[in-house]
Structure 1
Amino acid sequence: MTDTLKIAQADLLCTNCAGQCAYDPQTGTLSCQSCGTAHEIAHDPNLNPAQEQHYHPDMPHTEQPKFSTDRHFQCETCGGDVVFQGHSIAARCAYCNGVLVEQAANESYAILGMIPFQVDAKDALKYARSWIARRWAAPSDLTATVAGCDVTGIYVPFWTFDSEEAVTYMVTYETKSGDRTVTRTQLGTMDTFFDDMLMPASPHVTPLIRDGILHEFNPSHLRPYEPAYLAGFAAERHHQTVREGLQHNESDKALLLRNRIKQHSGKSGIVDVSYKTDTTGIRYRRILLPVWILHYEYAGKPMKVVTCGLRGRTFGERPFSTPKLFAIAALISSGVIAFGFTWGALNIY
């Protein structure tokens, strides 16, 4: 065990009773699991978590991975790679509920900032169960199925990217000329800017997890990375290079660019967009953001509900009840038929 790990472990011990401490989202402190004493988490005043790093694709990048001294585990099912601080270690993967197996320490990149959990496990469970209870056309026993499940908290890795884009584009659009459909094209240029574009930094951060946190992220809430915030939680560290992060998120950026081009062109009936862009001014941050995940199984199919650890926004996977769907469809059909008869009767006179 290295001195770094010894210091981190010692920092998680209560100075009052030497008990193990865990981060408490309600108070923002390290709370002793034995005597309840709350300990403030100190920050290095010289660290600025909002600061962004510059990246130049055509120049050598000097950022090097560091050897991790945290307890490192890998999921046997999805390959999820997580670390733990202190003695609180989960047996199951937060991403897929698979079995975690301890591995040798590995290399990862320095985390530049994070937002600690602000929603605790009790509230996260309440939000997840409430989300399930509000699903229309759900099986009648779904609420009871989820009642025995719990939530797992994990810090997931994200990027924030800034970039300046000088775009040359061509849009293809259709217009009506009498009975004919005419296909036309328009060329154009535009300058646009991405600021704090939030992107996953791991293949395990699925769209469901990303969507659960995307709308509540505010870069002004970033804090310097402190291992104490991880006490009692799992965390996946950053393993992507900046180039890999940009490549893995190209499709999301392309979708945003196409939407901006459509708006800039001012044309309706667009059927195709092609473009070239000159990207400059790339800046990035490596950050960790908190999510709660509830795993459950219905009819043999694993599903999950994700609650954002910032303010509790909840998204999830759910089954449907076939009989209820048929009943709803029949009700709608009956309504349409009744409306048709009524409309017809009114127009007879």
Structure 2
Amino acid sequence: MTETTKRASTTLDQAPQQHFPCEECGADLTYQPGIRTLRCEYCGHENPIIDAPAKIKEYSFSSALEALAHSEKRPLDNTPIIKCPNCAASFELKKNQHAGDCPFCGTPVVTSTGETRLFQPKSLLPFNITEEQARSSFDNWIGQLWFAPSALKNKATRDERLLGIYVPYWTYDSHTDSYYQGQRGTIYYEQEVITEVVNGQTRQRVVNVPKIRWTPVSGQVRQFFDDVLVGATRSLPRKILDNIQPWDLDNLVNYNEAYLSGFQSEIYQVDLDEGFNQARELMEQAIQQAVRRDIGGDQQQITALDTRYSDTTFKHILLPVWSAAFRYQGQTYRFVINGRNGRTQGERPYSIVKIVSLIITILILMIGLGYYLETSGILDQMLQQGGSVQYEYYPNTPHYPSYPNYPR
């Protein structure tokens, strides 16, 4: 089943908008993390969010690419012009956003994403932790950083402002069949006689020298990848987004604009095919590890690898993050917090004073230790008893690096 790519007849400034008035008093409602109701802060009435019971669907990747190839290309980077449904003011959302607040009356407005991108989000994870909880997670993260400037741990001097935003992601499922050729390495030992000088005397001894016997191998590895996750935003660094995983994707709900009320939401900037290329990089890493396990032995070499992908499907989803930035000595550092579990990652400054102090402390300790060994006579005793340490080197023995397993 493919996602619709039919071109809408409305223009950007005619895109439908929604806001969510209270059923009792008409006040504008915003979503409160962790609950499935829109609670009115004025009259206290709880307006339930009704989730569609339909199962979260996967969409055919190949059919979507075919539809894209035959569709008329749209202007993807136009800025939507929004007319507030409360005060009738017209304003622009920031580029690549489709949810925000009216700057004139503060009304939360959500506009359709179908007017600016071919694919609309079909499911999301609602925010689960509040801004206060997210700020606490950030404080804990800052407190655990080595060599962080002391000023960052002083809440009163920081100027960060948390922003709740739904970030677009792609997920990909795919069956893979990988055909490989390579070599299996088995370690064995041969005895060799070496000559060495000990206390001025020459002597010989027998040592076991490791060697590797290589055997040609070939085979096939079959794997299924489920929900390989790729961030579809360019606003935040990919490394930071990858490091706030895991996400509880089993708890995805069908897309409901009520969850976006009071939060910002981005439109995807990484296209479907580009996202799959990034997903393939992740899958290929896991495939290589599976091939090495299949080869077996003590060492492995892969000389040829051909992977075929089939029955590939995708989902376009929104995931919640608390995002902010703080300034330190004229530079801006960004960080994000997983809106489900509070996991925090970001850019950080280093305290040069703390690093230099540590280096000086280590030098002082080393000088002190050397002085103690020399004055106590221990150093002279060590030199008299010593001899030299012999390092054995075998130029004809190949060295092959080991490859750790990375379980999926």
* Contact 2:124–2:255 (Cα < 8 Å) also in 1: yes
TM-score (normalizing by structure 1): 0.77
Query: 1: distance between equivalents of 2:366 and 2:176?
Result: 50
Query: 2: distance between equivalents of 1:245 and 1:320?
Result: 33
Structure 1 residues 268 and 41 mapped into 2: Cα distance closer, same or farther (>3 Å)?
Answer: same
- What does 1:92-171 align with in structure 2 at a 5 Å threshold? 106-144=116-154, 147-171=158-182
Letter in 2 for 1:106: T
Note the C-alpha offset of 1:301.
2.1
Q: Higher mean Cα deviation, 144-153 or 288-297? A: 144-153
Structure 1 residues 253 and 74 mapped into 2: Cα distance closer, same or farther (>3 Å)?
Answer: farther
Q: Higher mean Cα deviation, 301-310 or 268-277? A: 268-277
Match of 1:200 among 231, 253, 257: 231
Letter in 2 for 1:83: H
Structure 1 residues 302 and 30 mapped into 2: Cα distance closer, same or farther (>3 Å)?
Answer: same
- SS of the aligned residue for 2:224 comes to strand
Q: Higher mean Cα deviation, 162-171 or 284-293? A: 162-171
TM-score (normalizing by structure 2): 0.67
1:297 aligned residue: 327
Task: Return the index of the structure with the highest Cα Rg.
Answer: 2
How many pairs were matched up? 322
Is 1:82 the counterpart of 2:97? The answer is yes
2:55 aligned residue: 48
Letter in 2 for 1:312: G
Note the C-alpha offset of 1:198.
1.2
Structure 1 residues 150 and 173 mapped into 2: Cα distance closer, same or farther (>3 Å)?
Answer: farther
Is 1:214 the counterpart of 2:220? The answer is no
2:93 aligned residue: 73
1:191 aligned residue: 222
Structure 1 residues 18 and 161 mapped into 2: Cα distance closer, same or farther (>3 Å)?
Answer: same
- SS of the aligned residue for 2:291 comes to helix
In structure 2, runs of 5+ residues without a counterpart are 1-12, 83-91, 107-114, 191-208, 386-408
Note the C-alpha offset of 1:289.
0.5
Query: 2: distance between equivalents of 1:266 and 1:299?
Result: 53
1:37 aligned residue: 45
Note the C-alpha offset of 1:33.
4.1
Letter in 2 for 1:289: L
Query: 2: distance between equivalents of 1:186 and 1:327?
Result: 55
Note the C-alpha offset of 1:15.
1.6
* Contact 1:307–1:313 (Cα < 8 Å) also in 2: yes
Structure 1 residues 332 and 263 mapped into 2: Cα distance closer, same or farther (>3 Å)?
Answer: farther
- What does 1:272-291 align with in structure 2 at a 5 Å threshold? 274-291=304-321
Note the C-alpha offset of 1:325.
1.7
Note the C-alpha offset of 1:194.
0.7
* Contact 1:113–1:287 (Cα < 8 Å) also in 2: yes
2:354 aligned residue: 324
Note the C-alpha offset of 1:137.
1.2
String of CA shifts for 1:24-50, please: whole Å, max 9, x gaps. Answer: 0033321324334321101223x222x
Query: 1: distance between equivalents of 2:43 and 2:64?
Result: 55
Query: 1: distance between equivalents of 2:81 and 2:249?
Result: 26
Note the C-alpha offset of 1:282.
0.7
- What does 1:330-345 align with in structure 2 at a 5 Å threshold? 330-332=360-362, 345=378
String of CA shifts for 1:309-329, please: whole Å, max 9, x gaps. Answer: 011111121111123223334
Note the C-alpha offset of 1:281.
1.6
* Contact 1:111–1:238 (Cα < 8 Å) also in 2: no
- SS of the aligned residue for 1:25 comes to coil
Structure 1 residues 59 and 25 mapped into 2: Cα distance closer, same or farther (>3 Å)?
Answer: closer
Note the C-alpha offset of 1:173.
8.1
In structure 1, runs of 5+ residues without a counterpart are 76-80, 92-104
- SS of the aligned residue for 1:249 comes to helix
String of CA shifts for 1:281-300, please: whole Å, max 9, x gaps. Answer: 21211111001112012222
